[in-house]
Structure 1
């Protein structure tokens, strides 16, 4: 009984090599075919090519993160039916190649947003941070989104205006890049003008409508995943609140439970991201883990320090507001029950999610949150925590 230790790798262009990953102790790779345009089919040929590259390093491709859901599917416009058919075929091809877990998300436009990609923590390392005042300054005074002021309190708006007035041209450009341009996990980037146009496409789509589109999508793809032997694992909203007028539909325990009931199948599961769910002060991660346990198909473990206004920064594993040991214990209890019930797929893949940029990584160019040493520290800590808890569960 042990969670499968995996590591996200962005493919041949990732500055961290497969050989380095192997030295961290991880045995599984979490990867995606980023070169394939959103909505296109992942062919067996391309899947096998990536698998062979990973296996040559003595590792295995355990989880896909992610097969992007085309924006037309989320909006239910344009060629959405074709893109759903393509998605089904990609699921079938992955299953045929022995890859049984697919992480995906249903967040409109951006996979995740931060205001600071190099927040200086107290020990000199860099972390990711979301500052609501700065985000409001971007939304209201830089992007100048229509009716944006209605989304923030008077206190936040006052502080946001003060911060905006003190920003230099370089700082405005930096915050714009941080929020909308080329973030890891997002397969598209936007200029300020094109970004506003994309936002406008969601003006008529509120949370209930987006949720309806998600549920219709699940009713289409989950039966295919079942037949292919694939477990789907939807990633929660990051952060778990509406941003830029865009709706959010996977932010709370109620959201997660509701979507798992749409199609009652172990193939219709959740990626338990303790950092994404945890950025909401209203989410109790140990309780969520226990409630969602039978449908947790993939796990991202990281910690955050947060407040009720929506500010948070990514902290060390045992220093934030999430009770990581309690989450780990609940996961191990679930895994034990799966194994004892005879499930062949009892093992739950997990990965250290993000990590402070530190040591020799500081001067290097890496994907924000995905440097080597910070994640290796996290994986080592998770491994030690797991071993200690396993002894207590025997």
Structure 2
């Protein structure tokens, strides 16, 4: 639902009832992930998309029924029909589970509070019950920023505590996900499936080296939603005018800046200096930090020399294995712009634990684990 937070926030401020259709499950190939939503108000105004157009009409009708008739929340599944190619379904071959519910903003102040935080660019999570007792379906609680307290309530204190704890953990990880809660004496007495919608602070991309490649990479990183920092010890090169797409440009020795700045498991560290006096102290520190990606630019000869120096500096082999060098995927990149695409493609692949292979070289769902084709050129069996 956070894909349409601006409009939902305005409707909540106006106390305007609306129907909310949320993707709560995805099976096979589907155009949009769980958590994506469509909303319809009493005047028939619609916002958002859950399928890129395939099933929007049917979802719109469901929303109007639930909203105008006051129906309880209902689940619907949409998938491609081989018997009738023109039936309501997904031409990509996947299936979507959708939860449609009426929302009366005055009755759900926790949602308005969370949407207000999202609109302001602050972190927030909304935990929405998508499976479980009928009385709880569609209800939720919110976690705002660093506050681990629940806003809103579901059923009882134990349930609220269990759901809030999971929502807070996902908010800190910056990840939207479905979680199963309950069925154990130390959590809530019932069993629930909860979809936790997360709006986290932007992940960081730290680019070291104020070079032309850094300008292109900062542009691509900004486009992908990163908070981009360019750092270089040379003030003549590290200027805001040279890097207009960076959120900040820092003049400092790279390792000193990394030592004092904030990083997390989503942070991408890109070392473009290929100068040992900058690289070695920087990489020695970075490889000992809980960041998500560490890549360094340079030729294979530069990489071998870099590894030698890092070993001499006492970096163990297990940490050296984290270093992606030469940086980027094999795209044949030559220009700074092409190189930026190569680097960000590797960052995306690394974050999602994928092969980085062309989709034509494998089988299986395109949004799931790719099964590489066999060495003899034949397609491997689809595990699904």
Q: Which has the higher strand share?
A: 2
**What TM-score do you get using the length of structure 2 for normalisation?**
0.29
**What TM-score do you get using the length of structure 1 for normalisation?**
0.28
Q: Which has the higher helix share?
A: 1
Q: Give the structure with higher Rg (CA).
A: 2
Structure with the larger RCO, 1 or 2 (CA within 8 Å, 6+ apart): 1
